[in-house]
Structure 1
Amino acid sequence: MLLAVAAAWAFPQDTGTQSTGLRDTGSHITGSTDSSTTLTIAATKAQAPTARLSWTELPAPEAPQASPAARRVDCSQERCVALTFDDGPGPHTKRLLRILEQYDARATFFLVGKMVHAHPWVARRIADAGHEVGVHSWSHPDLRNLTAQQVRAQLVRTRRIIEQTTGDRPVLSRPPYGASSERVRAEHRRADLAEILWTVDPTDWKHRNARVVRRSVERDLRRNSIVLLHDIRPTTVDAIPALLRHLERRRITLVTVSELLGETQPGVTYGRPDWSPQMQRDLR
């Protein structure tokens, strides 16, 4: 896709002073960002427990599969939506991959470095299936609370293990909880990573019900949406088959974030609910 299309998705950095204090609500934001930028994400008053970063051991890896052929998708002509999955690879990721394969659907997985280290064969399967892999930090901290050196270590260490494990060098990153700052963006720029947020959040960390999650996505979905989901939630994975059937009936093409945005710029943040209304056109 043309760079101009990707540029239209980026939003300018705010200036002035904003209040601080995001709470950890299981990859959902409440409150506002630091003194440099406000990330306007749908807030919630409910607080969920912090996502756990340890999993039961997964089965032995299966034989590697041949990577699917590269494809070209023009989202200025097709009705595109990008599904994204955070916090894995986890115990439900392999089941999700089988579902996506059944529907020939592509997605983007923002991986936690510790989980890639623990389950490298699952990370390889994600990439081998043609999905995009991105950075989601090494241990899922709020990056705004770290020093520049610590942020750099979280990003670079995760990028390196993803590249070593999958053979793909990530160009995208999603900061945990969507929490960013000028310092965090500067480190993303140094690590050659663009920040990717989202435009649709069904709060699947809170609604542990597959039907509620699916209906929430369907209600808020627009053309060129970036949907935030978590493959660590079994109810989220349960919701995917019916969601994919719904999207298939509406002739929506499921794409990776890079297929949707085209070329992205390191250190630039893409995706939030209140920007680029011309890109959030109705799917009718």
Structure 2
Amino acid sequence: MPKQIPAARRTSIAGLLAATSLVLALSGCASFDVTAPADARADASAAEVQTKDAKNAKGSKDGDAQVDCRKAKCVALTFDAGPSENTNRLLDILKEEKVHATFFMLGKNHIEKRPAEVRRIDAEGHELANHTWSHQILTEIKPEEAKRELSRVQEAVRKITGKTPTLMRPPQGRTDGEVSEISKDLGLAQVLWSVTAKDYETNDSALITKRVLEQTQRDGIILLHDIYKGTVPAVPGILKELKKRGYTVVTVSQLLSPAKPEPGMAYRPEKP
């Protein structure tokens, strides 16, 4: 049975997002549950907390402590719409900086054409996630088509890596109650964002860096794309400045821990 989110933390998607720059195409009055990473951590079950603390205790003994975003000043780094010809360079940078990210991958022309990059993303400790097969807007297609858009990625990633994603990001952030139910059926939590460089508008790496740093707050989720020419060159400067400001850069699942992503739930940081 899925855990219940306290009433104070339950928010209609329409109410939450109307006050933000993120525009969603809502279907009628359909709504679903949204929670922020800090609230997810606070609402973690006793068993999840115990497991997290046990891992941290073991890690401290072994000299390999786990990141604990209840204490650390964390921010999640995510990349959409790859893998692409830029992904290997990005992975080199992340490896050099000892940072892990979450990759919301497309199927058509990406996963299907670049299985080696998918395997490398997994092998180097990054998080595999779903961004649909062909970037169709899930709220604008039939439910069976939306389910196919997501399930094809699940199957493709599983065939390549033996792992099935537990996170998905709806194209353009457009979601509704129906998409939430489909995600729940497929075991996928929805992940939105709080920081966007709008790197689809510019190849100016300095501008991309500036936009990210201006928006980043604790528990934020940064949205970038590893398909655009200006993005990957911006990553070293972004990481350097985030670390200078005291941030620990993590995956989405690390940001939510000790809570585990709940299928169907939409996770989005609160606006500062």
Deviations 1:165-190 (A, max 9, x none): 12222110001111111111110010
Question: TM-score when scaled to structure 1?
Answer: 0.75
Task: Report if aligned partners of 2:134, 2:149 keep a CA contact under 8 Å in 1.
Answer: yes
Task: Report if aligned partners of 2:195, 2:223 keep a CA contact under 8 Å in 1.
Answer: yes
Task: Report if aligned partners of 2:13, 2:33 keep a CA contact under 8 Å in 1.
Answer: no
Q: 2:76 aligns to what SS in structure 1? A: strand
Report the counterpart of residue 11 of structure 2 in structure 1: 12
Query: Offset of 1:29 from its aligned partner?
Result: 5.3
Task: Report the CA distance shift for 1:238/1:13 in structure 2 as closer, same or farther (over 3 A).
Answer: same
Report the counterpart of residue 265 of structure 2 in structure 1: 268
1:81 to 70, 75, 78: 75
Task: Report if aligned partners of 1:33, 1:39 keep a CA contact under 8 Å in 2.
Answer: no
Gap regions ≥5 residues in structure 1: 20-27, 41-68
Q: Does 1:165 align with 2:171?
A: no
Q: 1:118 aligns to what SS in structure 2? A: coil
Report the counterpart of residue 94 of structure 1 in structure 2: 88
2:26 to 23, 28, 33: 33
Task: Report the CA distance shift for 1:242/1:15 in structure 2 as closer, same or farther (over 3 A).
Answer: closer
Query: Offset of 1:238 from its aligned partner?
Result: 0.9
1:182 to 177, 201, 204: 177
- What is the CA–CA distance in structure 2 between the aligned matches of 1:11 and 1:159, rounded to whole Å? 28
Task: Report if aligned partners of 2:33, 2:266 keep a CA contact under 8 Å in 1.
Answer: no
Residue identity in the other structure for 1:167: G
Task: Report if aligned partners of 2:84, 2:227 keep a CA contact under 8 Å in 1.
Answer: yes
Deviations 1:124-171 (A, max 9, x none): 111111000101001110011111111111111111111221222211
Residue identity in the other structure for 1:13: S
Task: Report if aligned partners of 1:32, 1:38 keep a CA contact under 8 Å in 2.
Answer: no
- What is the CA–CA distance in structure 2 between the aligned matches of 1:185 and 1:254, rounded to whole Å? 27
Q: Does 1:106 align with 2:100?
A: yes
Overall identity of the aligned pairs, in %: 34
Task: Report if aligned partners of 2:25, 2:175 keep a CA contact under 8 Å in 1.
Answer: no
Deviations 1:223-266 (A, max 9, x none): 11100100001201110011111122223211100000121111
Task: Report the CA distance shift for 1:212/1:168 in structure 2 as closer, same or farther (over 3 A).
Answer: same
- What is the CA–CA distance in structure 1 between the aligned matches of 2:11 and 2:132, rounded to whole Å? 24
Query: Offset of 1:74 from its aligned partner?
Result: 0.6
Query: Offset of 1:7 from its aligned partner?
Result: 8.1
- What is the CA–CA distance in structure 2 between the aligned matches of 1:153 and 1:71, rounded to whole Å? 39
Deviations 1:40-85 (A, max 9, x none): 9xxxxxxxxxxxxxxxxxxxxxxxxxxxx98621101111111100
Report the RMSD for the aligned CA atoms in angstroms. 3.0
Correspondence list, 1:1-284, <5 A:
11-14=10-13, 30=23, 32-35=25-28, 36-37=30-31, 72-114=66-108, 115-262=110-257, 263-271=260-268, 275=270
- What is the CA–CA distance in structure 2 between the aligned matches of 1:75 and 1:7, rounded to whole Å? 21
Q: 1:234 aligns to what SS in structure 2? A: coil
Task: Report if aligned partners of 1:111, 1:137 keep a CA contact under 8 Å in 2.
Answer: yes
- How many matched pairs? 235
Task: Report if aligned partners of 1:87, 1:112 keep a CA contact under 8 Å in 2.
Answer: yes
Which has the larger helix fraction?
A: 2
- What is the CA–CA distance in structure 2 between the aligned matches of 1:100 and 1:186, rounded to whole Å? 34
Greater alpha carbon shift after TM alignment, 140-149 vs 101-110: 140-149
- What is the CA–CA distance in structure 2 between the aligned matches of 1:163 and 1:70, rounded to whole Å? 28
Task: Report if aligned partners of 1:11, 1:269 keep a CA contact under 8 Å in 2.
Answer: no
Query: Offset of 1:11 from its aligned partner?
Result: 5.0
Q: 1:144 aligns to what SS in structure 2? A: helix
Task: Report if aligned partners of 1:144, 1:179 keep a CA contact under 8 Å in 2.
Answer: yes
- What is the CA–CA distance in structure 2 between the aligned matches of 1:173 and 1:153, rounded to whole Å? 13
Residue identity in the other structure for 1:152: K
Task: Report the CA distance shift for 1:102/1:242 in structure 2 as closer, same or farther (over 3 A).
Answer: same
Report the counterpart of residue 25 of structure 1 in structure 2: none
- What is the CA–CA distance in structure 1 between the aligned matches of 2:219 and 2:6, rounded to whole Å? 14
